[in-house]
Chains A and B, each alone.
Chain A
Amino acid sequence: MKAENETKRNIKLAVDYGLYTLIACVFVLPIIYMFVSAFKTDAQIVSDMSTVKAFLPTGKLSFDNFVAIVDQVKFFRFFKNSALVTLLNVSLATILNAMAGYCLGMLDFKSKKTIISLIIALSIVPSEAVVLNKFMIVNKLGMINSLLGLAIPSVGYPMFIFLYYNHFKGMPKELVEAAIVDGETYGGVFWKIMLPLSKPVLATVTIMGFIRSWGDLLWPTLVTRDETWRTLPLALRALSTDVYIYWGQIFAFSSLMTLPVLILFLVFQKQFIASVTSSGIKG
């Protein structure tokens, strides 16, 4: 009986692990494909497509694609631009959206419900629908083809405000009341008490904001008007033309471009998962 149970348990474990491995493969294999292909020649990549060899280091492997994107495509110039834009955007987004979420979640004031409803309504408006209006405003402000023009307009983001709002709403109001009784200001409560207790949401907003800004294509397409502030996604798109697709360089470029996102996720992994489980974010 015991042996039978043991066998059943082992079979169940094997099935579970098999399933998990399969799911992991769906997520991991494209990344392996990308990194492996970055070292192959264009001809080898095309030749390996649709076969299992695409995931294996076949043919002549070299750093030629990386050398080409650094020397010819000037990867690091675009990397610097993307890094500055993302740093500015994410820094402001984490703070300003948190401030908005704190006000809505912790404080009571007139029209609060209307504002929350408007923010939720805004989150269903696709950014493409307002891109031209936003562009005209940025142009009027003289921020076209500048770092500010690239980073500022997408700082306020309804979903982030809603995340913070949800987080602060769930926190005990007594914390604020006690601090106010002790002579602290609302601003002081935010900086000294609320923000330090919001690390999981901060991590989530940082990661999501980073991905959003790092991979944005449409806005930089419009706002950059020459080479000065061109970002990584624009440079990556240029590697695929109507006539020729530079596969090796695309994979090498994508590999280098993905690394910061992977590193960021690994650094904030614990907080991100904590926030996901508490807020129910998906995808």
Chain B
Amino acid sequence: MRKAFTIVLMVILAVLPLMANGNSEKAVVEQAEPTSIKVWVSSGSEDGVYKKVFDNLEASLGITVVDEYYPKDELDQKLQVSPIVGDTPDLIVCDYLMVPSYYEAGLIKSIEDHISDSLKEDLIPSVVTETSYDGHTISIAQFDAGMGLWANKQMLIDAGVRIPTSYKDAWTKEEFEDALKKLKANGVEYPLYIRQNKAASLYFQYMPFIASFNGEYMNEDGTVTGAINGEGTLAAFEYLSWMVKEGYINGKCDYENGFYERKESALALLGHWKYSDHVNFLGDDAIIIPCPDMGNGVFTCSGSTVWAMTSAVDKNNSENLVWKVMEGALSEENIRIVTDFNGAIPSRKTVMDGVDNLKEDGRLYLYREQLEAGISVLRPLTPAHMTIYAEMQNAYKDVIGGADPKSVLDEAAKAIDEVILDNGWNR
């Protein structure tokens, strides 16, 4: 026994020094004229197309792009400790909501001095809003989300429900309820699918309803009490609870395909990213209609992946090179590589014109019409994003599960504001 352990211990002690290859050996060499940049990308289904975009940029700029892909949470955790380690990348590609907290922490640089007025004017309004924070442009976006209700055209026709074609003729609240009732009576088991199986996504997707109930997630002063649990948002949550109780939404659904494959729903509160699934399964029956007007107007919501320059460019002397990469990402070719893959809406008006689906008789025209009309709402751009995201995920889950909306939202507001006030993130 002793011999065995002694051998194990000796082997371990002998190889320990050989295995240490930490960053102490990595001397930081300042490059006068860098030809390489490091990029961290929040990984997802678009990883492949980003690689293609980076290949294009490498070829056109004659540089090397060292691209690494991490899941959203991992990227966030790695980035937060990167100043300690000294390995902050030059550029990050991630959800726009993550950027303000990095900007507040001094990790992100404003690109106000780089972006030209003509380029800014060519960007759609929702993209300008999502890439701005604290009065500065802090990122760029290649596309924006398209959001509305996906609908099964045949089911609507069979149930005798009017099909709106523009946000201007969206259903009223009464019409929406009538549609749900008619669909249910016509054998559609749960008329509306809202991706209740992944409640975290409702923080984004349910926003058009909240806005139309005159609700919001955050006050102007950066706190949430009175907004998240305010009259409008509460009404929207009570409405959600009502739809579940009436059996219009399947509160116990734990699958993704209720709308397009199981066909137990005729409507789906989902965005552009489900284009392939919906069109592949439903063909021409997959159409987009606007979210209903619940009394205070018709809304959509937006937000997308952005590219942000980090403050590591100062140390790496790579600011100009990184801007060239960002600018290159906004070329028509590179935008189309991404949007042709994910079905999203190009961030530049001039690029949008070349997409058949976004032309006036195109299948996705409603997305364009909504974004150009400026009826899109964004989730709050705040350093407290991750806190709000986590709390609202639980709030949606609880309300769908049958909890009382008021007490759920009161608790969420209290928990979020504690973090905001503790960190001084209120204005």
Contacts and interface: CB of A to CB of B under 8 A. Distances in A.
Given A88-B12, A91-B12, A221-B74, A139 B85 contact: yes
A251 to B, nearest CB: 15
Interface string B231-272: 000000000000000000000101111000110000000000
Contacts of A149: 22
B255 A139 contact: no
B85 A47 contact: no
B22 A142 contact: yes
A252 B381 CA distance: 38
A244 B78 contact: no
A14 interface: no
A192 B78 contact: no
Contacts of B273: 243
Given A43-B257, A195-B2, A237-B74, A222 B81 contact: yes
B255 A242 contact: no
Interface in B147-168: none
Interface residues of B, number: 40
Interface in B170-227: 201
Contact of A49 (B25, B81, B255): B255
A50 B8 CA distance: 48
A192 B71 contact: no
A263 B76 CA distance: 35
B72 interface: yes
Contact of B8 (A91, A147, A240): A91
Interface string A61-93: 000000000000000000000000000100110
B78 A225 contact: yes
A135 interface: yes
A191 B12 contact: no
Nearest to B342: A243
B423 interface: no
A95 B5 contact: yes
Given A136-B84, A142-B25, A244 B1 contact: no
A50 B262 contact: no
A141 interface: yes
Contacts of A238: 43, 69-71, 74
A95 B9 contact: yes
Given A191-B2, A241-B43, A145 B254 contact: no
Given A136-B84, A241-B71, A222 B1 contact: no
Contacts of A159: none
B185 to A, nearest CB: 25
A243 B343 CA distance: 13
Given A91-B12, A139-B85, A238-B71, A243 B22 contact: no
A149 B74 CA distance: 18
Contacts of B32: none
Contacts of B16: 148
Interface string A198-227: 000000000000000000001001100111
Nearest to B76: A221
A255 interface: no
A194 to B, nearest CB: 10
Nearest to B250: A50
A221 B79 CA distance: 11
Contact of A139 (B21, B45, B77, B84): B84
A91 B22 CA distance: 22
B1 A191 contact: yes
A238 B43 CA distance: 8
Interface in B5-41: 5-6, 8-9, 12, 16, 19-25
25 contacts: A46-B256, A47-B255, A47-B262, A50-B252, A135-B81, A139-B23, A143-B20, A144-B85, A145-B21, A145-B22, A145-B23, A148-B19, A191-B5, A195-B1, A195-B2, A196-B1, A221-B78, A225-B78, A226-B68, A227-B68, A238-B43, A238-B71, A241-B43, A241-B45, A243-B45
Given A91-B8, A148-B16, 15 more contacts: A43-B257, A47-B262, A50-B254, A95-B8, A139-B84, A139-B85, A144-B85, A195-B2, A195-B5, A225-B87, A237-B71, A238-B71, A243-B45, A243-B273, A244-B44
| A-B residue pairs, 8 tightest by C-beta | A142-B24, A191-B2, A142-B22, A241-B44, A143-B22, A147-B19, A196-B1, A49-B255
Interface of B: 1-2, 5-6, 8-9, 12, 16, 19-25, 43-45, 68-74, 77-78, 81, 84-85, 87, 201, 252, 254-257, 261-262, 273
Interface of A: 43, 46-47, 49-50, 88, 91-92, 95, 132, 135-136, 139, 141-149, 191-192, 195-196, 218, 221-222, 225-227, 234, 237-238, 240-245
